[in-house]
Chain A
């Protein structure tokens, strides 16, 4: 079953704008990860944030985690047309931290 819900389900922005995607989950987690998937392709790992972390940055990506609210957000700054893809949050629910449950995903379109 899906653990996480993401919103929005779809997001359309202009190049240069920021894109924010939110993810909520239901149970305790070891870590939360964000992935990107281009249409019909495999997953690209973007960033992992552990349950004892609150914020993490990687290039134009900023991820926050609020374990009290069981929510996370992914911010992509200065978006580019190449950022067009589906973005999924995934929570690790086993002790090893590698068994993932995915959110519903956000389809992002960045218009040039």
Chain B
């Protein structure tokens, strides 16, 4: 199957700083990528749809100014958590569409201290 690489796998940052997470499709081009968030012992919730060359589409309740998404190329989408706070600590995972299937990155564990 197709490979999606997400980096970093773990990051610890101080409250008030920003963190960038990268999601790359390694062997295919993805015009659309998706970002999910998972709190401990909960399911994955879709945050936003990242569209190559255009603005991301955010799900209800997700602050677009806090979670900046950039999809500048067909193989890379980035999620920047701006002015991070402890409540932003979570597992963030991306997926990229290939044909009719979604392929997931390994996820990023963000801890804000």
Chain A contacts to B: CB under 8 angstroms:
1-2, 30-31, 33, 35, 40-43, 45, 48, 88, 90, 92, 96-105
Contacts of A1 in B (CB 8 A): 60
Shortest Cβ distance from B30 into chain A, in angstroms?
9
- Beyond the given pairs A99-B46, A102-B45, A104-B43, 16 more chain A to chain B contacts, judged by CB atoms under 8 angstroms and listed by A's residue number, are A33-B102, A35-B104, A40-B91, A40-B109, A42-B6, A43-B104, A45-B103, A90-B44, A92-B100, A92-B102, A98-B32, A98-B34, A99-B97, A100-B95, A102-B36, A105-B43
Q: Are B43 and A103 in contact (CB under 8 A)?
A: yes
- How many angstroms from the CA of A104 to the CA of B44 in the assembled complex? 8
Q: Are B95 and A98 in contact (CB under 8 A)?
A: yes
| In the complex, B101 has a CB within 8 A of chain A | yes
- How many angstroms from the CA of A40 to the CA of B110 in the assembled complex? 11
Contact with A along B28-44 (1 / 0, CB 8 A): 00001010100000111
Contacts of A40 in B (CB 8 A): 91, 109
Could you list 27 A-B pairs, sorted by A, with CB under 8 Å?
A2-B43, A2-B45, A31-B100, A33-B102, A35-B104, A40-B91, A41-B107, A42-B93, A42-B107, A43-B44, A43-B107, A45-B101, A48-B101, A92-B100, A96-B32, A96-B97, A96-B100, A97-B97, A98-B96, A98-B100, A98-B101, A98-B102, A99-B97, A100-B34, A100-B46, A104-B42, A105-B42
Q: Are A98 and B97 in contact (CB under 8 A)?
A: yes
Shortest Cβ distance from B62 into chain A, in angstroms?
12
Asked whether A43 and B93 contact (CB < 8 A) given A96-B100, A98-B32, A98-B101, the answer is yes
* Interface Cβ pair total, 8 Å cutoff: 66
- How many angstroms from the CA of A8 to the CA of B66 in the assembled complex? 35
- How many angstroms from the CA of A1 to the CA of B59 in the assembled complex? 8
Count of residues in B whose CB is under 8 Å from the partner chain: 27
Shortest Cβ distance from B49 into chain A, in angstroms?
7
- How many angstroms from the CA of A103 to the CA of B42 in the assembled complex? 10
